[in-house]
Amino acid sequence: MLKTESPPPQGPALDQCPTPQLLAWLVDDQQQALAAVQAARPQLLAAVEAALPRLRRGGRLVYVGAGTSGRLGVLDGVELTPTFSWPRERALGLMAGGPAAMFEAQEGAEDDADAGRRELQALGLTPDDVVIALAASGGTPYVLGAVAAAREAGALSLGLANNAGTPLLAQADIGILLDTGPELIAGSTRLKAGTAQKIALNTLSSALMVGLHRVHGCWMVDMRASNAKLRRRAQALAERVGRATPEAAQAALQACDGELKPALLMLRAGLDASAARAPLQRCEGHLRLALSMSGLQDDETVPSGKT
């Protein structure tokens, strides 16, 4: 049996233990998820280094999975737009069973390898696209069909699985093993296998966004202030990073339609909105480089009090 399908050695009788002990076991078991991702850092590094040049040329991120893995992939892709202003059309999510599977399990759909292949082919993949394929078992036919289509198109395929020696790890261009071992509830990969996938996806996509200059220091400078919370956050960042008064920060954000990067360049370099966009365009949105091109140096690295 796969590790994720097997009970832990001398597994406790969860249904017979007191609730405090049950909670302790469930929480403590999650620690293995972080350890699994830490062990996979070399593969995650290889994935980032292989994906970045493709994304810089205009490639897309395509997440593929079934069940819990598929939902985690869709979630990671959806969050890239509000967090980093990543274009929605460049973060696509495919789930076995279609969009309805996000809310209601479509258990049989994951067994259809041809569907995975067809649905990925329908996207018109190019060699610059990056396919992130997720399957805790490492052998989900739908996901393997999608990986086959990715390889046929010359796209980069990254395979994340929680069981060693499985087809997904072998067939993807870069296999990323998240070895979380047996689940406390045998076969329930929504537990620490899912946690490890979430950590790995957070790590992978965040590193890619940093590499694409969508973060400055540790600030989300590529977000768009589209609601009250984000407007407050943008205002605070414009004051802090732009070294501006509240009134000046607000005026710059309004002139730049809520976009932080040009607003920050306006504030720091004394430019108008149109002039602030020009250096950003020349250096592919790299705010630190744009500041340097404007004759400014920036020492903004981490919030005060942090090291």
Catalytic residues: 79, 110
Alpha helices by DSSP H, listed for 85-134, are 113-121
Q: Which amino acid is at 270?
A: G
Beta strands in the chain (DSSP E): 61-65, 91-95, 130-135, 156-161, 174-177
Structure tokens at 214: 């969508």
CA-CA distances (angstroms) from residue 20 to 27, 109, 139, 185, 195? 11, 38, 36, 17, 21
Classify the C-alpha dihedral 265-271-272-277 as positive or negative. negative
The three-state secondary structure class of 284 is coil
Structure tokens at 33: 């998820």
Structure tokens at 197: 């996938």
Beta-bridged to residue 160, according to DSSP, are 134, 176
R_g of the chain, CA atoms, integer Å: 22
